Amino acid sequence: MSSKSLIKHHPMKYWLNLILIVSLLAAGPQRAFGQKMSKDMNMAAPGGPVLPLDSVLQRVERRNPAVQQYAYQARAKEAAVAGYNSWEAPKVSAGLWMTPYNQAKARELSGAGPNQLQGQAIVSVEQMIPNPAKQRARREYLSSQSAAVLADRQYRVVQLRAQAKTLYVEQAVLTKKLAVLDENEELLRFLIKLAEARYPYNQATLPSIYDAKARLEMHLNDHRQADALAAQNQIMLNTLMNRPRSEAFAVDTTVLLTASTLALAPADTAALAGRRSDIRSLDRALTTVRLSQNLEASRRLPDFGVQFDHMPFLGAGANQFTLMGSVSLPLVPWAAREYRANTAALGFEAQALRKQREDVLNEASGRLASLQTDLTLRREQTRAFERRILPALRRSYQATMLAYEQNTGQLFQVLEAWTTLKRTRLEYLDNLQQQLTQQIAYEKELEQ
């Protein structure tokens, strides 16, 4: 039937079709046909300045209190090293020395005068001198503790960076989801208005209109859920960066383009041990235990002491003094039990740390192998979405929409095609998010 004949016999149908075509063209091909998400991956959601991922990670590492505490702990350990060469406080004592209880009888026996005192006063000074080998062992032990704290700090940084990356990627995916939902909401509202305009002319059915309105409300629920998740992620990211919780910012969605750039290669145990900060932390802990063992073993070395006593007579007589040196005997059995037991206990603790190190490497190798398998699957699924599934559903939607424009299709068919395409686009984004989340976990295991 020619256009002139259509105008003559069915003028309302002609003008409705014309309005539909013009409106769809005004909406643009992306809104009408749901083109690929990757074409606008560099869009960012409004609501504040765009913070790139690198900037977020730098702020987390610089401002997060959980990271800052390790710096103070390391400084505390370093400050404690300054006291490694301290000595015990000297002892000073004073009193009477060899003074008789009965002064009168003592004077009688000694033939002294009636008012002359008998006996001596004493002033004593004693100082213990530590063994230099013990001081060196203590210095090495205290110095090793700050290195262990810094290794723990790096491990904490890796965990926080992975958490921030995961939230950032999820926020980028939510940004794309909100764009898809906004786009589809506008199209669905237009279809409802068009169906309501066609209904008086028996070109649309009432059940299909109610169905479209119900789908719109379900669609709005999806939008509300995505909005709430985006707000929660923003709060959590601000918390990690130690910023005001309500401070708005937008994420750079180009991060989604890195989904397939990571090279997957098997990592051997030696390379893995060189990369991971938790292994370095265990190595530092082993060093600290070994130095603690050396410190306990140094207790078998003797300490030295010197004592000087000055004894002036209370009456007549020459002043006297005593000068003595002393040495401890830690090798005697009743004194050696404690440090020998502590040394043996620390040896077992070192063995436990070595086994823990092996366990960490073993589990990390297993997780890496599992993540490689999962990442390979996710990449294949993403390619299937991009190359086959979404294009096919897009063509199906276009064909259904074209049939509806020409009055050879029904609204419910358009709604089904629209719903399927929308859900599949959201499912594609979910799969992309899972792929990036697994990629972040893979990078965390390798600490890249």
Q: What is the pLDDT of residues 247-282, one digit of tens each?
A: 889 999 888 887 666 666 666 777 888 888 889 999
Between 100 and 448, where is the model more confident?
Answer: 100
Place of tokens 């005697």: 332
Query: What would the DSSP string read from start to end of 368-423?
Result: HHHHHHHHHHHHHHHHHIIIIIHHHHHHHHHHHHHHHHTTSS-HHHHHHHHHHHHH
Task: Report yes or no on 3 lying in a domain.
Answer: no
Q: What is the pLDDT of residues 282-323, one digit of tens each?
A: 999 999 999 999 999 998 999 999 999 999 887 777 788 899
Our count of domains for the chain comes to 1
Q: Residue 288's domain is classified under what CATH number?
A: 1.20.1600.10
Task: Report yes or no on 102 lying in a domain.
Answer: no
Task: Report yes or no on 259 lying in a domain.
Answer: yes
Task: Report yes or no on 101 lying in a domain.
Answer: no
Q: Distances from the Cα of 292 to the Cαs of 85, 139, 333, in angstroms?
A: 16, 10, 22
Task: Report yes or no on 100 lying in a domain.
Answer: no
The confidence score (pLDDT) of residue 427 equals 93
Task: Report yes or no on 328 lying in a domain.
Answer: no
Question: What are residue 347's phi and psi, to 5 degrees?
Answer: -65, -45
Q: How far apart are CA 118 and CA 110, in angstroms?
A: 9
> What is the mean pLDDT of the segment spanning 190-208?
83
Q: Is 139 exposed, middle or buried (0-12, 13-18, 19+ CB in 10 A)?
A: middle
> What is the mean pLDDT of the segment spanning 375-386?
91
Q: Is 134 exposed, middle or buried (0-12, 13-18, 19+ CB in 10 A)?
A: middle
Task: Report yes or no on 267 lying in a domain.
Answer: yes
How large a percentage of the chain has pLDDT more than 90?
41
175, pLDDT greater than 80: yes
Task: Report yes or no on 383 lying in a domain.
Answer: yes
Whole domain around residue 417: which residue ranges?
34-85+132-300+333-446
Q: Cβ of 363: how many Cβ atoms within 10 Å?
A: 11
pTM: 0.77
The confidence score (pLDDT) of residue 163 equals 94
